[in-house]
């Protein structure tokens, strides 16, 4: 069994974006991402901080916009309209989830597609479904990148493989199914969700098993086929009173029992997370290269 080191894989993408950023700066363009955080959700705050740190490390500017939890939808929409028109801003990221009184889809739809570096706008989603050029959502794109790297370096073929995805969200499971089923990847896809009758019957068929349910240790070793590639997308906070922060992060996969069956497995943290950030950096540089 090999642990897939997401940090090392992400480093290659980060170096590439750093070089492209330096080239843009020589032409007088500094890539810039506007990062909008509404409210004080601790997980969102930590994701935003991590993204801004990564942006700074490769030389991308970020415009940090923090709004209180009671900000109205109207105020957010007028902020987005300003950012859409701002030639110094190449990408716009609104950290999700938003407070309940704000309609996420209305906010996402308001972002100019050419600045939609999260790849959540309906135009970006449509382009992805049709296999056209456009921004791809960072987590699914990062997972495809990881799987292609494993394929490139090791005796493993994505083409014809059966990929079972647990989770059908608009940001992970569903787009991942679309990307993996494209001819360029050529996997066969099963998507599971809470309506799936017998989850382990499905997961046991997986050559590639991707867990994106947000449920700690949902996948245990007895649900995994021998030799499967296991990608754990889940990031769950499990309360541990003795831990420094009072919690520890764990995935959707029970690592110890699954590692005994898997050929490759991603850890949490240090697996999918760093790849998600690397793909965001790449999208921002793509946006800056295209111009505003
Ligand atoms: P989400 O919107 O809550 O979707 C979860 C999906 O999992 C839903 O489709 C749900 O089914 C399904 N599900 C939940 N429990 C299940 C069960 N017991 N059996 C089968 N299916 C089940 O979550 P998300 O935004 O996709 O995120 C999933 C996880 O990935 C979270 O832990 C999140 O923190 C993490 N994440 C990590 C990254 C990263 O970069 N590492 C990025 C994004 C998300 P229904 O549709 O039927 O409800």
The single residue of 61, 95, 114, 261 carrying the catalytic annotation is 95
Nearest-atom index, ligand 1, CA of 194: 47
253 beta partners: 219
Looking at the domain assignment, is residue 19 inside a domain?
Answer: no
Tally of CB atoms within 10 A around 155 = 7
Report yes or no on 227 lying in a domain: yes
Q: Is residue 10 part of a domain?
A: no
Q: H/E/C letters for each residue in 179-215?
A: HHHCCCCCCEEEEECCCCCCHHHHHCCCCEEEECCCC
| Judgement on whether residues 49 and 165 belong to the same structural domain of the protein | no
From residue 2, how far is each of 47, 156, 217, 228, 231 by CA, in Å? 27, 13, 19, 11, 12
CA distance 196 to 212: 14
71 and 35 in one domain?
yes
C-alpha to C-alpha distance for 207 and 228, rounded to whole angstroms: 5
pLDDT digits (tens, 9 = 90+) for 233-242: 999 999 999 9
**pTM (global) more than 0.95:** yes
Tell whether ligand 1 has an atom less than 6 A from the beta carbon of residue 199: yes
3-class secondary structure, 214: coil
In a domain, 182, yes or no: yes
Pocket test for ligand 1, best of 41, 167, 219 (most atoms within 8 A of CB): 167
Assigned domain for 3 exists = no
- Does the beta carbon of 185 sit less than 6 angstroms from any atom of ligand 1? no
How many structural domains is the chain composed of?
2
Q: Do residues 81 and 200 share a domain?
A: no
Does residue 210 fall inside a structural domain?
Answer: yes
Calpha distance 112→85 (Å, rounded): 9
User: Which residue's structure tokens are 């493989």?
Assistant: 161
Check if 235 has its Cβ closer than 6 Å to any atom of ligand 1: yes
- Per the DSSP assignment, residues forming a β-bridge with 237 are 249
Secondary structure of residue 254 in the 3-state scheme: coil
**Hey, what are 223's tokens?**
């649900």
Q: How far is the CA of 212 from the centre of ligand 1 (A)?
A: 4
Domain that holds residue 49: 31-114
Within-domain flag for 93: yes
Active site residue 11: no
Which one of 61, 115, 116, 118 is the catalytic residue?
118
Note down pLDDT in tens along the chain; length 292 residues: 999 999 999 999 999 999 999 999 999 999 999 999 999 999 999 999 999 999 999 999 999 999 999 999 999 999 999 999 999 999 999 999 999 999 999 999 999 999 999 999 999 999 999 999 999 999 999 999 999 999 988 778 999 999 999 999 999 999 999 999 999 999 999 999 999 999 999 999 999 999 999 999 999 999 999 999 999 999 999 999 999 999 999 999 999 999 999 999 999 999 999 999 999 999 999 999 998 6
Q: Are residues 227 and 259 in the same domain?
A: yes
User: How far apart are the C-alpha atoms of 252 and 201, rounded to whole Å?
Assistant: 17
């Amino acid at each position: 069994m090999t642990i897939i080191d997401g940090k090392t894989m992400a480093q290659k993408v980060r170096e590439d974006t750093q070089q492209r950023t330096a080239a843009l700066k020589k032409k007088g363009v500094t890539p810039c991402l506007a990062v909008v955080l509404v409210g004080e959700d601790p997980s969102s705050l930590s994701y935003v901080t991590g993204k801004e740190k990564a942006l700074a490390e490769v030389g991308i500017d970020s415009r940090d916009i923090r709004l209180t939890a009671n900000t109205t939808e109207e105020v957010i929409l007028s902020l987005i309209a300003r950012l859409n028109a701002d030639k110094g801003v190449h990408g716009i990221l609104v950290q999700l989830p938003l407070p309940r009184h704000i309609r996420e889809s209305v906010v996402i739809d308001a972002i100019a597609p050419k600045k939609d570096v999260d790849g959540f706008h309906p135009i970006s989603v449509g382009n992805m479904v049709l296999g056209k050029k456009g921004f791809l959502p960072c987590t699914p794109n990062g997972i495809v990148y990881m799987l292609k790297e494993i394929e490139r370096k090791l005796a493993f073929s994505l083409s014809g493989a059966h990929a079972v995805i647990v989770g059908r969200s608009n940001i992970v499971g569903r787009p991942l199914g679309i990307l993996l089923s494209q001819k360029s990847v050529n996997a066969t896809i099963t998507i599971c969700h809470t309506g799936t009758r017998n989850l382990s019957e499905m997961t046991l068929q997986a050559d590639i098993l991707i867990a994106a349910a947000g449920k700690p240790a949902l996948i245990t070793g007895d649900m995994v086929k021998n030799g499967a590639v296991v990608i754990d997308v889940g990031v769950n906070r499990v309360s541990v009173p003795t831990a420094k922060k009072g919690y520890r992060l764990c995935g959707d996969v029970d690592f110890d029992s699954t590692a005994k069956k898997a050929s490759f497995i991603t850890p949490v943290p240090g697996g999918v997370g760093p790849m998600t950030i690397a793909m965001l950096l790449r999208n921002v540089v793509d946006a800056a290269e295209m111009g505003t």
